[in-house]
Structure formats: C-alpha cells, structure tokens
Structure 1
Amino acid sequence: MALSQHPVSAQELKTVSENQKRTSTVSQIKLEQLRNKKVVSLSAVLIVLLFFLFYFVYQNNRLKQKIKRKDTKQKILLNIINTGIDSHETEQKKIASFLHDNVNSLLSSAGLHLNVFTTKHNIQSEEIQKAKNILTEAHDLLRDISHDLVPTLLVRFGLIYALEDLCERNSNSSIQFKFSSSVPTDTRYSEKFEMKLYFIVSELLNNIIKHSEAQTAQISLHENRNQLIIIIHDNGKGFDAEKLNEIEGFGLNRIRVRIKKLKGIFSIISRANENTGTSVKIKVPVS
C-alpha cells in the first residue's frame, strides 16, 4: 500500500528558513567572537613584545651612555696622566741641560782657573789640592745626575746606543742584562719618541732588579713593517700578570698608559712562582 505524502505548508517552510538563518547567524557570531579573541590575543602579544622592545632599547641606551661616560672619564684620566708624564720628562730635560751646560761648566771653569793659578805661581798646598778634588767630585756627581735625568748618549747618539749602555750600567755580579738589536746602531727617531721609550725600558729594568730575583735578562730590538718591537725577558720568579691592579707598585699601568699614547701595544706573559720568568713585549709605530 503506498504511503501518502503530505504537502509542506508555507508556515513550515518559513520556520525551516528562519531556523537556518538563526543557525547561520549564531555561526557568524561565534566566528566573529573567535576572530575578536584572536585579534585581542594578538594585540596583547604585540603590546608585550613592544614593551620588551622599548625596555631593551631603553636599557641599551642607558648602557651606551654609561659606557660613553666611562670612556670619557678614562680619556680624561689618560690625558691627565700623559700630561703629567710629558711635563715630568720636559722638566727632566731642562734640569739635565741646566746641570750639564751651566753648573758643570762653572765647576770646570773654576777647576781650570785654580790649576792655572797654582801652576803659574808654583803653589803646592794641601788645601788647594782638596779643593780641586772636591770640584772634581762635584763635577762627576752632577754629570751622573744629569745622565740619569736625560742620558747624554741618548741625546747625541740615539736610542740603540743608549739602551745598550743602560744594560751595561745595570749589569753586575747579581744580574746580567744582555742586549741585542737588528736595528742599525746609527738609526735615529724623533727626540720625544726616543726619550719616552728609553724611560719605559729603564723603568722595566728597575722592576726586574727590584722584584724579579732574576740572574739574567735579555733585551732585544727589531723593526718590522714600520713597527719598533722591544722584547724584554728575564728568568726571575714571575708574578700574576692578570692582576695588574694588585701590583701597581710595579708601575706597569703607568707604562701601559704611556705606550697607549704612542699608539702601541704592551703585553706581559708571566706566572707567579714559576721558573718561566717574565716576558714583556712592546710594539709601537715608528716615529
């Protein structure tokens, strides 16, 4: 028997259509809500990222300013130290020149006149002979002081001769300073350049004598690509080269500052209480 089919009324069709529309609207609302949630979440993430970005930029700028202030203070300090060193070396030169050219000349002249007078009048006097000896002793003493301030050998013949003489004068029965150089002995640099390097090496040799307990030390010089290289090695007890601030009595930081002004490089290899000794390397552009 065939089933009877009821015709769908207009009211039912309308209800179905409204249900479909309602379902579609709900779906759109849910989609819109989901989209809004994603937008809000994304916005929150972007805000957090922007916050961290601004914080990072702020801290980075603060760090840069701090480093800049530190660099500025360091430059000012270096300038003060270098100015003091330059003034000291200039004064040394003036005093040495005054002692050598004036005081020593006066003593020599006095001794000469005394010799002429005693010879002319054939005078034999113990007091006059003592006076001559005193004048000679004063002349030699002032000559040594003048040489210590600014060596005559350095001024007249240059750095190579002066450093070789420095090694000879500091050698004794306790320690021997050996000198070698591939630089021709008649090589001359600017006066200030030679003076600065001479006093730096002199201070390093004094450190070896006072602190290293070494028996031998070697000073060598050579040039390479417009760079003057000075290497000083001793066989002493050494020290912790990484703790320069704790051994400021050595004056190594002042030496580092002076070499830095010459746009050079200063390096130390040393270990405390070992038998490897200490090696110092100075590398400066030739002036």
Structure 2
Amino acid sequence: MHIFRISIIFFFLLFFNENTVFSQQKEIPKENVQNTSISKKISIAELNKLEKLRNKKVVSLGIVLVIILFFLFYFFYQNNKLKQKIKRKDLKQKILLNVINSGIDTQEIERKKIASFLHDNINSLLSSVGLHLNTFTTQNSIQSEEIQKAKAILAEAHDLLRDISHDLVPSLLVRFGLIYALEDLCEKTSNRTLNFDFTCSISSNKRYTEKFEMKIYFIISELFNNIIKHSKATNAQLILSETGNNFIIKVQDNGLGFNARKTDEYEGFGLNRIRARIKKFKGSFDIVSKMNQGTTIKIKIPIPH
C-alpha cells in the first residue's frame, strides 16, 4: 500500500509540474501575442504545438501510471497468494501434528491399559495357579516331573508378562517417578559395546504429572532406540536439568551423525513423532549433528503445574 500511495503522489507531482511548466509557457506566448508591437516570437501554431506536446506527456504519464498500477496489482496478488499458501501449509501442519499427537495419546492410553491388565489380572491369575499347584503337591506329597515342568512354565510365563508390562509402562516410572525410571533405563540399555551415562541435577524424589512423566520417558526411549539402531556409537549421555520453569533434556552420542539440515531423509528415526510430542507441550527441539562427529539433541519443555 505504501508503494501504491507513493506512485500516486509521484504521478500527481509530475502532472502538477507539467501543468505549471506549460501554463508558464502559455502565459509568455499570450503576452507576446497581445503585445505584437513589442515582439512576435511565438505564433498560434507554436501554441498549438506546445499544447499537443503537453497532451502527449499527460498521456505518457497516464500510461506509466497504468503500468505501475498493473505491477502493484500483480505484486499484491502474488503476495496474497503466498500468504494463503503459507496459511494452508500451517493449517496442514497443525492438522498433521494433531493427528500424530492423537495417535500417540491413544497408544499411551492403550499401553497403560494393557500393562495394568497384564499386571493386575493375568499375572495375578498365574500366581494364583502356581500357589494352588504348590499347595496341592505339598499336601499330597506328590513328586511328579510333569508338575515340576508345569511350575517352570508358569514361572516363565509370569516373568515374560512382567517384562512385557514393564516395557509398556515401567513400574519404576509409576511407583517412583521419572528420574528413577530414566536412570534405570540408562543402566538397562548400557552394554559392552554402548554405554549410556546418566547425569541429573534434579532431585530423584521429584515428581511431575503422570502424563508429563510418561511422555518424557517415551521421548527419551525413542531417542535411545535411534542411537542403538542407527548411530554406531560407543558412548552416549543423558543430561537432565531444570532452568526456570523448563525441563531440559540433552542427549548426545559419539556416533556417525547425520546432516541435520536434511532431517526429512531421516524420518525413519521417528523425529516427526518426537517433534509432535514436544510441540504439544510448546517446547523446543534442536539437533546439532555432523557426519562422523556425533549428534547432540537438546529439548526444552515447560513444566506443567
């Protein structure tokens, strides 16, 4: 709009200047015509010629203004078109994030339900079967190889269900909180070829909301899985801290790294899911990575109250 206003002002200034010049040019000849006895320099034909020249210049200025207006219209049209495109892109991104977050929330709810069902129902039934079997063999003094095998199978099934339940929703996370669960995750994930160091400046007794703890735990679990599957690192580190009202997560490794500017090529790493979770909490997600120089991921999430 500023360019349009400037163009209009510019045109009127030029038009005003042309009128002034030609009016001055016309005044001089008219005086000369009236005073023919003093001087006869400009004739009626010359006046007509000057008038035609003035008209041509006015027409030329009009054409220039039309061209300017055309370009201004084209500029504003393209600018509005670009704005609409950006709005549509933002809307699509919001819809995609909502879909991803909805899927993640559903998964986490289902995980919790399944874990609770396995722990509170199936494991309890297996324990009850084992108890009855032990009572029966003790009371009847029965020593049978088949019964011993049945006891072993029950014990194995109990352990498997406990492990599955723990993988779905870690019992440490539910009972003791996020810090204990993440420290345990580092310890369990470490092996002879890859070590996960745990550093935390937050009290291990501190608790957050259940939803927040679950999301943070699964975000870090997914980052750990990426390191194990793709990085070929020998050492990784999880650093937790709080700054103001923000929960800070830093995960770094000494692995192969990747081009952080081309994250679309690495969506197999689950980065979209991680970003969606973090955006839902209005947090930030930064990646610093170079080929053969390792990767550092920093996440900042406001702590819910």
TM-score (norm 2): 0.84
Is 1:259 equivalent to 2:283 in the alignment?
A: no
Partner of 2:19: none
Which one of the candidate residues 257, 262, 279 is aligned to 2:296?
279
For 1:131 and 1:23, locate their aligned partners in 2 and report how far apart those are by CA, in whole Å. 128
Larger Rg: 1
Which one of the candidate residues 164, 189, 210 is aligned to 2:208?
189
Partner of 2:190: 171
Letter in 1 for 2:114: I
For 1:94 and 1:143, locate their aligned partners in 2 and report how far apart those are by CA, in whole Å. 14
Partner of 1:49: 68
Tell me the secondary structure at the aligned position of residue 206 of structure 1.
helix
For 2:213 and 2:226, locate their aligned partners in 1 and report how far apart those are by CA, in whole Å. 20
Partner of 2:142: 123
Tell me the secondary structure at the aligned position of residue 218 of structure 1.
strand
Which one of the candidate residues 49, 55, 67 is aligned to 1:36?
55
Tell me which moved more, 105-114 or 215-224. 105-114
Tell me the secondary structure at the aligned position of residue 177 of structure 1.
strand
Q: CA deviation at 1:221?
A: 0.2
Partner of 1:114: 133
* Contact 1:227–1:283 (CA under 8 A) maintained in structure 2: yes
Is 1:68 equivalent to 2:87 in the alignment?
A: yes
Tell me the secondary structure at the aligned position of residue 23 of structure 1.
coil
Which one of the candidate residues 226, 237, 242 is aligned to 1:223?
242
CA deviations on 1:215-242 (whole Å, 9 max, x unpaired) are: 1111010000111010011111212222
* Contact 1:265–1:282 (CA under 8 A) maintained in structure 2: yes
Gaps of 5+ in 1: 1-15
Which one of the candidate residues 112, 136, 139 is aligned to 1:93?
112
Gaps of 5+ in 2: 1-34
Partner of 1:3: none
CA deviations on 1:154-195 (whole Å, 9 max, x unpaired) are: 111111111101011111111111111111111111111111
Is 1:202 equivalent to 2:202 in the alignment?
A: no
Tell me the secondary structure at the aligned position of residue 146 of structure 1.
helix
* Identity of matched residues, %: 68
TM-score (norm 1): 0.89
CA deviations on 1:104-151 (whole Å, 9 max, x unpaired) are: 011111111222222223322222222111111111100000000111
CA deviations on 1:226-282 (whole Å, 9 max, x unpaired) are: 11010011111212222211122211222122211221111111112x2x3111111
Letter in 1 for 2:303: V
